[in-house]
Structure 1
Amino acid sequence: MQFTDLESYYTYLEEDENFSILDFNTTKYLKILGDSSSEVELKKLCSYEQFFCDFSIKKGEHIPQYQMGDYKYPTLEMFDDNFEYIKKRAKETVNPKYKSRYNHILWISPQKHYTYAKQAIESYMNFLENSNFAANDNLLNNSFRTYFENLFLLSQSINYKSAETIDYFITLLSGSKISEFCKYAIMKFIGENIKKSDAVLFEKFLDYAKIQVEIAEDRLLESFLKLLIILSQKLKKSPAIFHEKLGDWHISQLKKEDKQGFLAHHFYLNALEEYRKANIKVKVEQTSVLLEQAKKKINLKRIPFEIKDDKILEKLNQYWKITSDNIKRIVTEKSSKDIYEYLTVENFLPKPNSEEEEPKSALLDLVTTMTFDINRNVNKNKSGMINPYQLHINNFTLRQISCVFLEGIKEEKITFKSLIGYLENYTWYGADFTYVDNNNEKQGFDWIELLIPSLQVFFNQIEADLKTSTNHNQGYILAIDSLVLKFEGLLREFSRAIEAQTIEFKADGTEERISFDKLLDNEKITDLIPANDIAFFKYLFTSEGMNLRNNIAHCFYKTENYSSATMLLLIVALLRLGNYRFEKKLDK
């Protein structure tokens, strides 16, 4: 295929019967045509057509082909002639495949007009009705689905030929034009996106899906069971029987072959969830037992990696030399108070994770990722992606903190006595939070007294470890257990002091303490405490990271899970939460 001029390109579009969504070769040959010409106008029109060919519309919205940071390609802004050329092409083009796209681009552009949507709908319908491809071709079935979803959403948005669109799809249910999976996916899409609930339509879908459940196999059976659950809910019918069958399907996958480890855990967990929704207590109990047994065979080994690029290694070594030299200088020249303040305000914590910054890969659409907690339970709040926050804590933050403590202990500036003195004199922990009640009895907390046991045990152990060049995990159990639980108490005390809500009232009139996570999300807290510190506290104490509060309170930690490193992170958190003054309390 080679274009000698734009007319040959237009002829190619009119004769094109390819049902796929994108044709990258077309873009390539348009570029060759534009680059080979000295005519400015031809170059410009070739560029417009390249943008047009690369323009992808899925589920009624433009999806950029490439995106890196703020850069996207293609975008509507690239059609910088007020869309005059696209309007012209929308009128002239006959092939419904391209006529629908020209008009759909105009519909989602600033030139948006009802006429363009109508033209796109009619062209989509014409194109789909006259399409012909092998029903077992998955790629072309996927193309059909994309075209139909665009048609359906357009027809719903302007209420034009919406009934005809649905009627057309219903005729496909009794034929073999598209695959059963494609039928399932479109029924699910219609059910989730139809503007006005249609009980008659949903009953038709329900009846069809029930028939398929009796004859379908494996993944297709799973898909139709999930569809039946959705349809039952929309029709206000109990989906319990389908939840149970879906649970049975997950169990059946284990019986087909000897699945162990991650796979067994995956299927048992999904089955358990379905049985719970179906309220089948016997199967819930049976599956729970099997799930616990399967956990023992999950191998969660760490996979190390090493950097072999000499330039990267050199830069890292330079960075660590500069950092360690700076820390040694601070520890040598500054007082204990200055060192603790350095740990309180120095910007060595990572920035909070955000969904926009989380790395994503199209390859991960092809696999299932699972994130396990310390108890080998799947954490459904985590994506299974690499966590940049955790990488930063482990490879940078902790290394800097360790260097400060190591040098500080060597110089005898970081000691149990100096730390307690700093907490007592320069943090709000030293304030008197006690009071005498009506019975002349002392109430409230002396936080320094409560913190002393943990810190004293820690310093005794770390000093012993440094002298013997060892790391006795067992020696840090008491220190970590105590400080983790005290930190929640300190956070609640802090919340009360700034008049942030710490108790909420349930619908039945009972009181309930606000969770640790909600305490940190309170506006009064976030207005005072920097976002980096909030993210650090969440990483340490909630399911967003180490989940220390839950793991300690429920005895999930084994001896090997305890370490001096964890205690160092806790002390930094303690210093950062204490970096405030309550004038009424500290008025001396």
Structure 2
Amino acid sequence: MAKKTYYSVTQAAEYLGIHPETLRRWDRTKKLEAEKINDRGDRRYDLEKIKRFKDMVRLGTDDKESARKKIDASLTSLENIAEDAKYEFTMGDHFREARDLSYFILDDERERDRFQALINLFSFQVKDDEFKSKMSGTDANGKYWAFPSLEDFSKSDFTYVRSLLPKYKHPRIRSRISHFLWIVEKDHKMAQTAIKEYLGAVDWLNTEVKKDPEGTSAFEIVNSLRSAYILAKKIKHNINEVNQSIANTVLNFDNQSESRWAVTHRLIEFALENWKEYGQDFWENVVKICKRMAEEQEKKNNLYFARDFLSLGEKVERQVFSLQDKKWRQKIASSFEDEANAKKDGFVQSDLLMKAITEYKGLGDQKKVEELEKSLQKAKKDLKFQTFSQTMDLTDWVNQIRTQFKTLVGKESKEQLLIRLTADGSILPKYEEVKKQAEKMDKEFPLQSLFSTSVFDSSGNMPRKYDSDLEKKYYSLLRQYNFSLMTYEVMARVLFEELLDAGKIDLESVVKYISDHLWYGKEYELHDPDNKELLLKSRKWVDILKPGIRAYLSALDSIKGKNVEEARSNLILAIDSLTPKIEGLIREFYESIGKPVDKIKTERGGKQVSEKKGLDELLREPYAEEIFGSDLLILMKYVLIELGGYNLRNNVSHALMFRENYLLSYGHWVFLILLRIGAYQFSINQKPPESAV
């Protein structure tokens, strides 16, 4: 542990830019306490502590008269702040200094709380009729927190905020205060005021964005109009006026900002949700705007956005005028084709060609479809699968977990260790943690989920595309799960190395454990169907799993002996043998608990036949999570069936893997999945073991 650096009162006061007596007062009132450093009672300030204090607290003076002037100025200058701030939700930062001066210099907790209320009020992100927190998370104790939060306001805060409304004229300030009071008090007059001020803010923003296209957030126009419309509909007030403002902005929003196309597109989509509230002339002009914006984006070579406007124009004509003009789709198809011809990257080119083919099929242009399918086959041959890698030094961490596992393996029996492999939750990534991290990454890097994601196999085919918002969100989860699994794969490798080194895992102990503890280790009886005579007793699953388990354990032995080629051969046998058995095990388990495992399929000619559900269907059943738990279920999906994961079930069944594609980590996860899906009967009578890490 690093040695602390301590400052005397004089040194600490000088560092903070305040009088020593001020610092002594803070110590007495526990605002910034000194530490007792010896038995004699000498008190000093930890340098790291006062550094953090200086970073958090904004003062600028410790003179009370100067502090009062700064506090008063913070309130009178809010109009200027509203005029200059690029984003309205950053206005709350303006009051931080006033809050800290009130508390630390004037010792006025009531005024501090008022300024904190203003910081909270102007830090919300407002969308439609909802005040959303700017940030959130969990503390060290796992308790959820959010900033700002409506729960942080008291009744006296509401009264104080209301008292400020007559003092300000800027629509940004007045719309925020009045909308807030509508949210918390449901005062219709405040909702009416908010509608009026949002429309005023739109007029002001339209002027500002023309004067300073890059220094003004044009998206605030969209948010203000949406909020005004939703409030107007809720209280049935000034709906026509709000619609007129939306129409005027769509038709006249002509500036040079980079966000111009996005603002126009979003407002047209929003208006289309309530298209009957706008006149025919408006929609005729919208169609012209869509054509013009598509041409404009095409000239800039922004073909993705050009197609967005072509699709939107087609949607307007279809929904408003009941027209089916193929010219829109023709232009979209040509755009995909032109972009594909311009791209040299095999993956991107293949994706664009497939989109063009889909469009031309919809247009019934078979000649163009056949032409592009030939180009697609050529593009597939040119695909180059590259490997990207990043080197990280995990030596210290690996050594640490190796020491932990070595101790654990040394003191537990073979059976206890197999129980641990079956039930220890710390060996698998936690679904909820991965989900939160994925959501956090999507917020921090929104562009990564803006475009669709295509998954290609080694033959250049695109068997899966994550296109809709829900699919993109799921793919983001899979991507984050992959990052988590990389860490856990290192843990699994070290754990199995230690098990092998200590002689704590072998075929005999594994087979005995399955037979004694797992539901599929039970003995099956085969009877004569006529006279019910017992013909045979067999541990069916033990018998058919045993060769695959033997091959897996032999692969571990070969790796220990540094015989890589033999290890790879055994690993191929293990994965090819065990992976399809998991489907049979899950199907039999479903049957034993009364869940359906068959489905009806209609063949050509209308004939209906019954067939077994595949693993993909079994794991996507709505009750699968309740049965297996979210941590095991996401592991099974990622390892066995997800195209965005390892997809072993499909790759093994259709011989899509080369020798070098068989990885030891695949063997570890398949083995752990086998143990865990057999644990249900066992888990009723046994407590899960304590965490291994």
The range that moved more, 320-329 or 437-446, is: 437-446
| SS of alignment partner, residue 556 of structure 1 | coil
Aligned to 1:32: 97
Matched, 1:365 2:446: yes
Q: Deviation of residue 103 (structure 1)?
A: 0.9
Aligned to 1:432: 524
Change (3 A) 1:498 1:383: closer
Q: Deviation of residue 425 (structure 1)?
A: 4.5
Q: Deviation of residue 216 (structure 1)?
A: 4.8
The range that moved more, 267-276 or 111-120, is: 267-276
Aligned to 2:654: 554
Q: Deviation of residue 227 (structure 1)?
A: 1.4
Change (3 A) 1:293 1:114: farther
| SS of alignment partner, residue 98 of structure 2 | helix
Q: Which whole-Å deviations, capped at 9, do the CAs of 1:480-510 have from their partners, x for residues lacking one?
A: 2222112111111111111111123468765
Q: Deviation of residue 11 (structure 1)?
A: 5.9
| SS of alignment partner, residue 501 of structure 1 | coil
* Counterpart contact for 2:82–2:173, Cα < 8 Å: no
* Counterpart contact for 2:579–2:649, Cα < 8 Å: yes
| SS of alignment partner, residue 106 of structure 1 | helix
* Counterpart contact for 2:435–2:477, Cα < 8 Å: no
Structure 1, unpaired ranges of 5+: 583-588
Aligned counterparts, 1:50-65, within 5 A: 50-65=119-134
Structure 2 distance, partners of 1:500, 1:385, is 28
Aligned to 2:576: 481
The range that moved more, 554-563 or 529-538, is: 529-538
Q: Which has the higher contact order (CA 8 A, sep 6+)?
A: 1
| SS of alignment partner, residue 122 of structure 2 | helix
Change (3 A) 1:532 1:471: farther
Aligned to 2:435: 355
Aligned to 1:415: 506
Q: Which whole-Å deviations, capped at 9, do the CAs of 1:360-394 have from their partners, x for residues lacking one?
A: 15552245675745536465245457845434443
Structure 2 distance, partners of 1:411, 1:4, is 70
Q: How many percent identity over aligned positions?
A: 20
Equivalent of residue 450 in structure 1, options 544, 566, 587: 544
Matched, 1:327 2:403: no
Q: Which whole-Å deviations, capped at 9, do the CAs of 1:439-489 have from their partners, x for residues lacking one?
A: 999999933343344334445555445445324434432332222112111
| SS of alignment partner, residue 218 of structure 2 | helix
The range that moved more, 548-557 or 345-354, is: 345-354
Structure 2, unpaired ranges of 5+: 1-65, 139-143, 683-693
Q: Deviation of residue 85 (structure 1)?
A: 1.8
Aligned to 1:168: 245
Q: Which whole-Å deviations, capped at 9, do the CAs of 1:119-152 have from their partners, x for residues lacking one?
A: 1111222332354135481544223223222222
Change (3 A) 1:42 1:166: same
Structure 1 distance, partners of 2:232, 2:445, is 33
Matched, 1:114 2:114: no
Structure 2 distance, partners of 1:16, 1:465, is 67
Structure 2 distance, partners of 1:15, 1:315, is 49
| SS of alignment partner, residue 136 of structure 2 | strand
Structure 2 distance, partners of 1:451, 1:55, is 58
Question: Which amino acid in the other structure matches residue 102 of structure 1?
Answer: I
Question: Which amino acid in the other structure matches residue 407 of structure 2?
Answer: D
Structure 1 distance, partners of 2:203, 2:403, is 69
Change (3 A) 1:468 1:420: same
Change (3 A) 1:34 1:468: closer
| SS of alignment partner, residue 72 of structure 1 | strand
Structure 1 distance, partners of 2:401, 2:501, is 23
Structure 2 distance, partners of 1:323, 1:106, is 58
The range that moved more, 168-177 or 99-108, is: 168-177
Aligned counterparts, 1:223-372, within 5 A: 223-231=308-316, 234-235=319-320, 238=324, 241-256=327-342, 258-261=343-346, 263-265=348-350, 267-268=352-353, 270-272=355-357, 274-275=359-360, 281-284=366-369, 286-291=371-376, 293-294=378-379, 296-307=382-393, 314=396, 316-330=398-412, 334-335=413-414, 337-347=415-425, 348-353=427-432, 355-358=435-438, 359-360=440-441, 362=443, 364-367=445-448, 370=453, 372=455
* Counterpart contact for 1:90–1:102, Cα < 8 Å: yes
* Counterpart contact for 2:409–2:417, Cα < 8 Å: no
Q: Deviation of residue 114 (structure 1)?
A: 2.0
Question: Which amino acid in the other structure matches residue 423 of structure 1?
Answer: I
Matched, 1:159 2:243: no
Question: Which amino acid in the other structure matches residue 341 of structure 1?
Answer: I
Equivalent of residue 13 in structure 1, options 61, 70, 79: 79
Change (3 A) 1:144 1:198: closer
Equivalent of residue 592 in structure 2, options 497, 506, 509: 497
Aligned to 2:30: none
Question: Which amino acid in the other structure matches residue 454 of structure 1?
Answer: G
Change (3 A) 1:176 1:403: closer
| SS of alignment partner, residue 54 of structure 1 | coil
> For the aligned residues, what is the CA RMSD?
4.0
Q: Deviation of residue 407 (structure 1)?
A: 5.2
| SS of alignment partner, residue 431 of structure 2 | coil
Aligned to 2:271: 190
Q: Deviation of residue 548 (structure 1)?
A: 1.0
Q: Which whole-Å deviations, capped at 9, do the CAs of 1:515-537 have from their partners, x for residues lacking one?
A: 42442355665455444333332
Structure 2 distance, partners of 1:433, 1:286, is 60
Aligned counterparts, 1:76-95, within 5 A: 76-80=150-154, 81=156, 83-95=158-170
Structure 2 distance, partners of 1:49, 1:164, is 30
| SS of alignment partner, residue 132 of structure 1 | helix
Structure 1 distance, partners of 2:121, 2:680, is 58
Change (3 A) 1:123 1:447: same
Aligned to 2:19: none
Matched, 1:22 2:88: yes
Structure 2 distance, partners of 1:167, 1:132, is 17
| SS of alignment partner, residue 589 of structure 2 | helix
Change (3 A) 1:393 1:146: closer
Equivalent of residue 566 in structure 1, options 633, 645, 666: 666
| SS of alignment partner, residue 430 of structure 2 | coil
* Counterpart contact for 1:27–1:54, Cα < 8 Å: yes
Change (3 A) 1:250 1:128: same
Q: Deviation of residue 196 (structure 1)?
A: 6.7
Q: Which whole-Å deviations, capped at 9, do the CAs of 1:406-433 have from their partners, x for residues lacking one?
A: 4555666643444344434543334327
Structure 2 distance, partners of 1:480, 1:540, is 12
Structure 2 distance, partners of 1:341, 1:15, is 63
* Counterpart contact for 1:210–1:228, Cα < 8 Å: yes
The range that moved more, 416-425 or 316-325, is: 416-425
Question: Which amino acid in the other structure matches residue 346 of structure 1?
Answer: D
Aligned to 1:99: 174
* Counterpart contact for 1:371–1:384, Cα < 8 Å: no
Change (3 A) 1:33 1:215: closer
Question: Which amino acid in the other structure matches residue 101 of structure 1?
Answer: R
